[in-house]
Amino acid sequence: MTTTITRITALPTSPFQGAGIVGIVITSGVPSYFKLEGVGLDKITSVNWYPKNPASVQFETRRLILVDSTTGTFMIKVTNNMLSVIDRGGRLSFAIDNGDTITFPVETYGPVTYQPLWTSPYEGLNTG
């Protein structure tokens, strides 16, 4: 059976919902939870985030926890955002037990902040 990821949904939501982009909250200490849906998810051995600039952010991940072979959850939490607005984005990679990987683009975002990082009310800070 081939592993196929059909949907990654941020819980409760992200500004990129439905766009095929994984949105990770860049605010230190605030976890981003995700629901993963697809086929053969029990073949996934690990979930890893590869930021564009790995020196720009420290983070933790919680492994994929399966409900069944078609649904699971995982978490990524930034532990140090280095107080910077440089691009972090990158990709989220799912390693499969046969050696294949499935990747999705990542965009990072944060809550509305104050000068000089403030962009506009209710929009938040898009950092990559």
Of 33-37, 50-54, 62-66, the poorest mean pLDDT is in 50-54
Give the CATH number of the domain where residue 10 resides: 2.60.40
Higher pLDDT, 55 or 117: 55
- The number of domains in the chain is 1
Please give the Cα distance from 8 to 80 (Å, whole number). Answer: 24
Give 85's pLDDT tier (boundaries 50, 70, 90).
low
Give Cα 96 distance to the centre of its chain: 18
Please give the Cα distance from 79 to 58 (Å, whole number). Answer: 5
Range of the domain at 39: 4-126
Structure-derived torsion over alpha carbons of residues 84, 78, 4, 73, reported in degrees to the nearest 10: -150
**Does pTM top 0.85 for this prediction?**
no
